[in-house]
Amino acid sequence: MKIKYLTAGIIALCIISGYILYLRIKSIKNNNGKPFHVVCTTTILGDAIKAITLDSINIDILIRPGVDPHTYKPIEPDMLKIAKADLIIYHGLHLEARISDLFAHLKHSKQTLAATECIAKNKLICTNQECSMYDPHVWLHPLLWIEVVDNIAKKLGELIPHQKDTYIHNAQIFIRKIQQMYQSTLEKSKKILPEKRVLITSHDAFSYFAQAYNFETMSLQGINTATQTGFADITAVVNFIIKYKIPTIFIESSIPAKTMHAIQERVQNLGMKINIGDELYSDSLSISSGPAATYLDMIDYNLNTIINGLT
C-alpha cells in the first residue's frame, strides 16, 4: 500500500514540476501573445543571451558550431526565422559580412541590435589605413565582451520592460563570472615566457585575445576568411617561425587546416620541428559535448591549449 502511495506521490510531483517548468520556459510573450523570439547569428551571442534571459524566451542561433560567420549566408529556413523574430541580434563590425546589408535594411522594419555598437571606437583594432574598418572578434577580449553583454541586456530590458531588472541582474551575474574567468586565465597565462608569446593561427581572429593576454599574433588569412592565402604569406610565416624558433602553430575550429599543415611541412623540410597545437575556438563555440560549449569555457580552453603549445 505504502509503495502505491509513494508512486502516486512521485507522479504528482513530476506533473507539478513539469507544469512549473512549462510556465517558466518561454513565459515571456510578444504583442501577439506568442513566446518572445530572438534570432541571433553566432553561438557566442546565443550563450550571452541565454545567460541573460535564462529560459524565458525563444532563442534561435543561425550559425551552427564550427560554421564560419564571415562566409555564412542564410538559407530559406533561416530567412523564415529572421522574418518571425521579435529581435535580431548580430555582432556587427562586418563579422557577418554576407548578411550585414540585410540586417542594416531590416533595421527599418524590425527590432535589430548590432551588439558591438556600444564599444568606443578607440578600443577597437583598425584593419585598414583609414581606420574605417575594425576587427570584429571583440569577444576574444573578455573586458570588451562584458560591454557587449551589458548592451544586450539593456536592449532586451527595453523591449521587455517588466523583465528589465531581472535581465540586468542576470547580466551582472554573468559579467562577474567573466571577470573572475579573466583574472584566473590572466594568472595562468604568466606560465608562458615573454619570448614565446607569439600566436600563429590560420586567420586573424586573435588580435584582441593577444591584447588581453599580452601576445603577438601572426596569421595567414586576414580578418575576413574569404580572402585567399598566397605563397608569399606562407613564406613569410615559415621564415618567422624559423627565425624565432616558434614551437607550435594553431588551427581554428571554423577554418580549414590544410594551410597550417603545408606550413608545418615546409618548416620541417628546412630542418626544424614544429607542432600543430589542438584546435582553437575563435568564431564559434564547440558543440554542447565539446570542450568549449560556453563562452567561459571557450576562453579558458583556448588559453590552456596555447599554454600547452608554447611552454
| DSSP-derived secondary structure for 106-137 | HTTTS-EEEGGGGS-GGGSPB-STTS-SB---
Closer of 283 and 300 to Zn ion (Cβ): 283
Contact status: 150 vs Zn ion (CB under 5 A): no
| 59-67, 83-91, 201-209, 241-249 -> range binding Zn ion (CB under 5 A) | 201-209
Q: Which stretch binds Zn ion (CB under 5 A): 3-11, 41-49, 263-271, 282-290?
A: 282-290
Cβ of residue 256: shortest distance to Zn ion, in angstroms?
Answer: 13
C-beta closer to Zn ion: residue 170 or 202 = 202
- Smallest distance, Å, CB 159 to Zn ion? 28
Q: Is 283 in the site for Zn ion (CB under 5 A)?
A: yes
| Long-range contacts of 16-25, Cβ-Cβ distance < 8 Å, separation of 24 or more | 24/55, 24/56, 25/55, 25/56
What H or E segment, with its residue span, contains residue 103? helix 100-106
Site stretch for Zn ion (CB under 5 A), options 182-190, 191-199, 278-286, 290-298: 278-286
User: Which position has the grid cell 529560459?
Assistant: 55
Q: Which is nearer to Zn ion, 94 or 177 (CB)?
A: 94
| Complex with Zn ion: residue 205 or 306, whichever CB lies closer | 205
**47 versus 283: smaller Cβ distance to Zn ion:** 283
Q: Which residues contact 121 (CB under 8 A, 6 or more apart)?
A: 134
State the Cα–Cα distance between residues 137 and 223, nearest whole angstrom. 9
Strands (E), the chain: 37-40, 58-61, 87-90, 112-114, 198-203, 216-221, 248-249, 275-276
- Contact status: 205 vs Zn ion (CB under 5 A): yes
* Of 119 and 205, CB closest to Zn ion: 205
Considering the complex, state which of residue 68 and residue 86 has its C-beta at the smaller distance from Zn ion.
68
DSSP letter (8 states) at residue 219: E
Per CB under 5 A, the segment of 31-39, 57-65, 143-151, 283-291 that binds Zn ion is 283-291
Q: Which stretch binds Zn ion (CB under 5 A): 114-122, 200-208, 259-267, 288-296?
A: 200-208
DSSP 25-68: TT--B-TTSSBPEEEESSHHHHHHHHHHHTTSSEEEESSPTT--
The reply on whether position 96 binds Zn ion by CB under 5 A is: no
Nearer to Zn ion, 96 or 283 (CB): 283
CB under 5 A: which stretch of 102-110, 122-130, 161-169, 281-289 binds Zn ion? 281-289
Total chain residues near Zn ion (CB under 5 A): 2
Distance CA 181, CA 297 (A): 9
Least distance CB 285 / Zn ion (angstroms): 13
With 0-12 / 13-18 / 19 or more C-beta atoms within 10 angstroms meaning exposed / middle / buried, residue 26 is middle
Nearer to Zn ion, 44 or 113 (CB): 44
233 binds Zn ion, rule: CB under 5 A: no
Tell how far CA 205 is from the center of its chain: 11
Q: Residue 253 has which C-alpha cell?
A: 575550429
What's the min distance (Å) between Cβ of 305 and Zn ion? 17
Nearest distance, CB of residue 54 and Zn ion, angstroms? 29
Task: Name the percent of the chain in helix, strand, coil, to the closest 5.
Answer: 50, 10, 35
Q: Produce one character per residue of 210-243: b if its CB has 16 or more CB atoms within 10 Å, e if not.
A: bbbbebebbbbbebbbeeebeeebbeebbeebee
Residue ranges binding Zn ion (CB under 5 A): 205, 283
